[in-house]
């Protein structure tokens, strides 16, 4: 089997009210889309396909020739964006997984499990779902009496149906990430109907689920336990929630790996940081970039470590250390700034 991953990244994210494209805003010290791309690259058999808007340069500057790029000339919805990948993936991939550039917490392992679910079931499509609150704005995953997925119903549509209360009470929510049988996807995606959206008429990828069911093809849902993986950031408020979720995950990893965090909620550690065992990190500490902290160190409180290498047994208190290396058992006293670029 050959698995391809398509990352939808053409949206401008106007609700961010920013000069910077939505997916280029950072979470955990990296652009959101880079987290997604790195996860996709881990599982894909082909270079991930990134769907971008006209004239876009920021994404291609990030990934260079690691990615394949296709342009969505108009913002006509997720179904239309996915269709842009057809010319370079048709007959090249048995499976096509579609995800979004603003979902930086989605794990590579979860993508892999979704692809496995599609392959093992032979379904036309496998979708990612999560159990959530009935007040959620996510679409509902509707199943029949035999527990088979029959359709995805968006909240606006559910409210217009006679059984609206029943539909809105469904707790299984559609995350919006899919893995399709490649041949089936490209044979059918061109027949998607246009739907009314806020900005005009669009083609929704969710309608592929109904198409599969109408053809008598199976659709399977993989329900995940970690709701944080489903978080996307379309506004700055949502970006804050994603950042907090990222920090929770990262800090728990360090706790599990033998690092003491005195107050995890006030400690910020970027993704590429390395920290040795039995190091203690005090509140209001920021460890950024690709910094390396040795074993048995005491870092903080009120400290910034940026692109620095801290040897074993060092003490850095209420100080800023960047772009340099500290020998083992160095003691950096409070109110010190060490910048290797200015030495």
Residues marked as catalytic: 15
229 three-class SS: helix
Q: Name 251's Cβ contacts closer than 8 Å, sequence gap at least 6.
A: 261, 264, 267, 269
Q: Do 180 and 125 contact (CB within 8 A), yes or no?
A: yes
Report DSSP state, residue 201.
Answer: E
Distance CA 212, CA 187 (A): 11
Q: Do 212 and 192 contact (CB within 8 A), yes or no?
A: no
Q: Name 321's Cβ contacts closer than 8 Å, sequence gap at least 6.
A: 303, 304, 305, 306, 308, 310, 332, 337, 338
Compute the C-alpha angle 280/283/287, nearest 5°: 70
Q: Name 67's Cβ contacts closer than 8 Å, sequence gap at least 6.
A: 37, 47, 48, 49, 50, 59, 60
């Amino acid at each position: 089997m050959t698995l391809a991953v398509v990352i939808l990244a053409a949206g401008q994210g106007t609700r961010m009210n920013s000069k910077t494209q939505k997916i280029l805003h950072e979470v955990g010290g990296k652009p959101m889309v880079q987290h997604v791309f790195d996860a996709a690259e881990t599982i894909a058999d082909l270079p991930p396909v990134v769907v971008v808007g006209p004239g876009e340069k920021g994404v291609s500057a990030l990934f260079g020739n690691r990615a394949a790029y296709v342009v969505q000339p108009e913002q006509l919805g997720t179904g239309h964006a996915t269709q842009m990948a057809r010319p370079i993936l048709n007959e090249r991939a048995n499976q096509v997984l579609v995800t979004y550039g603003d979902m930086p917490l989605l794990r590579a392992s979860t993508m892999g499990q979704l692809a496995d679910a599609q392959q093992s079931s032979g379904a036309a499509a496998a979708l990612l779902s999560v159990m959530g609150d009935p007040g959620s704005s996510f679409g509902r995953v509707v199943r029949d009496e035999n527990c088979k997925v029959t359709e995805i119903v968006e909240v606006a549509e559910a409210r217009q149906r006679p059984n609206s209360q029943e539909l809105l009470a469904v707790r299984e929510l559609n995350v919006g990430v899919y893995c399709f049988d490649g041949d089936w996807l490209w044979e059918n995606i061109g027949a998607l109907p246009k739907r009314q959206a806020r900005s005009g008429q669009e083609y929704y990828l969710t309608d592929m689920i109904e198409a599969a069911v109408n053809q008598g093809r199976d659709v399977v849902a993989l329900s995940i336990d970690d709701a944080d993986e489903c978080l996307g950031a379309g506004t700055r408020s949502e970006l804050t929630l994603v950042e907090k979720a990222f920090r929770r995950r990262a800090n728990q990893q360090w706790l599990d790996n033998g690092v003491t965090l005195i107050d995890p909620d006030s400690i910020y550690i970027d993704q590429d940081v390395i920290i040795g065992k039995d190091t203690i990190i005090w509140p209001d500490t920021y460890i950024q970039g690709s910094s390396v902290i040795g074993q048995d160190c005491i870092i903080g409180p009120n400290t910034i470590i940026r692109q620095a290498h801290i040897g074993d047994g060092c003490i850095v208190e209420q100080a800023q250390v960047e772009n340099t290396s500290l020998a083992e058992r160095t003691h950096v006293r409070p109110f010190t700034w060490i910048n290797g670029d200015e030495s």
